[in-house]
Amino acid sequence: MPSLSELIERYIQGLFERLGQSTVELRRHELAERFGCAPSQINYVLETRFTAERGYLVESRRGGGGYIRIMRLQVSRPGLACAIQEHIGDQLTPREVDHLLERLSGAGLLSADQAGLVRRAIARETRSIAPPVGDVLRAMLLRAILCVLLIDRDSGGEV
């Protein structure tokens, strides 16, 4: 019999398949009620099964109107720069930036040196800016940098 974590993971992956989209939005509380578990169990599944290394980016907003947005990164398809822009969203925490860069580096789309350079540049420019403005700026910077790096790579140097 599958564990609760496996059931939750299968349910979320099934949503991607049923909806046919690369982004799924959920409410942590509703998901916990559905599976009869604590919201911390949902957090555990998200942190261990929906990681950047596994091709996912998770964005979470807490509170009464909070949600969980899970984005499936499809890094091998054509139009990669556009796909990245679509997945980044309006705000990114430093952790989300790290996860995305690790995923792109692991997939061979960015070198480790490029990922490190991007990480340091974004951290330097946003370190003194408090959320949510820092999160918005971080997303804008990452979107612009990746667009240049990935378009440059795909087009043979022509931007």
Q: Is 22 helix (H, G, I), strand (E, B) or coil?
A: coil
Burial 27-62 (b: 16+ CB within 10 A, else e): ebeebbeeeebeeebbeebbeebbebeebbbbbeee
For 62-86, how does the pLDDT look when each residue is reduced to its tens digit (9 = 90+)?
766 668 889 887 655 455 656 666 6
For 88-131, how does the pLDDT look when each residue is reduced to its tens digit (9 = 90+)?
778 888 988 998 888 788 777 889 999 999 999 999 999 999 98
Average pLDDT over residues 52-67: 72
Task: Give 49's contacts (C-beta < 8 A, 6+ positions apart).
Answer: 5, 9
Confidence of residue 50 (pLDDT cuts 50, 70, 90): confident
What whole-number distance in Å separates Cα of residue 59 and Cα of residue 79?
A: 23
Global confidence as pTM: 0.51
